Amino acid sequence: MSRRLAALNFVLRVAVKPRLARTRGPEQAAREFERSAALFLRRPPYLRRLERPRGLHWISAGPCRVRKVILYLHGGGYITGSGLTHQGVMGRLSKLSGIEVCAPDYPLAQDAPAPAAFDAACAAWRHCRALGYAPGDILLAGDSAGGGLALALLARCCASGEPPAAAVAFSPWTDLAMTGASLRDNAKADPFLPVGRMEELVQIVLGDLPADDPRISPLFATFPGCPPVMIQYARTEILADDARRMAERLRDAGGRVEIVVHPNAPHAWPVFDGWIPEARHSLRQAARFLQDSLDDTNR
């Protein structure tokens, strides 16, 4: 563990985690995250972000391959975040992979609970297809709730017979039924997320949807013809079992899954690119995986 990661974990544990535990509601959480993202989620040099119709952000930070795209779903527990707040991690992933990123601003749960975010992700997929991208030209990615959303979209694409080239999920939230043992076992070890707020968050996100609906909990989805998937998670985070069991589910479906497990990074640590070397290393791993998968699909 680098000194900068140790410092980040300390700051998250003593300042951010208690703040999240005291946040009054999703509206306050969204406002505070937007302010903090502008200050603390760094962007790579020469980042370009274009806001185009249908609520889509197109993001790059250097030369990109022609007619290939990463469809990225941002994290934030379904109640915070946007293509704007997460443009740093998306821009860095684009720069490292040489592939442009398309990021939809899906509805936040306080405005439209599930399955609204899933419907928006499907709409973004359909829009990419309408622009001429073949399924094998599209890669899926996401962090935290967005990682779960990317995997839910992956299941839908597999079921419809048009799987993407590959998918990457950073610390994905895949089980809103909250059946993972790590929610209890890692409650103290996790430096970032307060487990005491999870049940309340789930109620906001679900609306009238059952917790095991695969549109919000891809752990319960099926993945026929699953393409390669990389899942990165930290052993100490409360959502570790969401990631671990998701990998098992995908392997049972016949998919090739690469797992990257960090011993003590915070939840969704690649978003801290520019602050900790572990974030850059993880994004490089993801970029190589996406490039290789794209090459294999298009041979």
- Active site (catalytic) residues: 144
Other CB atoms within 10 Å distance of the CB of residue 105: 17
At 208, list the tokens.
Answer: 């009238």
User: How far is Cα 148 from Cα 171, in angstroms, rounded to an integer?
Assistant: 9
* 120 contacts 55 by C-beta, under 8 angstroms: yes
Angle, CA 66 vertex, CA 61 and CA 68 arms, to 5°: 85
User: How far is Cα 288 from Cα 299, in angstroms, rounded to an integer?
Assistant: 17
- Residue 74 buriedness (CB in 10 A; 0-12 / 13-18 / 19+): buried
286 beta partners: none
User: How far is Cα 296 from Cα 213, in angstroms, rounded to an integer?
Assistant: 32
Question: Any alpha helices (H) in 106-197, and if so which ranges?
Answer: 116-130, 145-159, 182-185
Three-state secondary structure call for residue 16: helix
* 264 contacts 236 by C-beta, under 8 angstroms: yes
| Angle separating helix axes 277-297 and 3-11, nearest 10 degrees | 100
Three-state secondary structure call for residue 200: helix
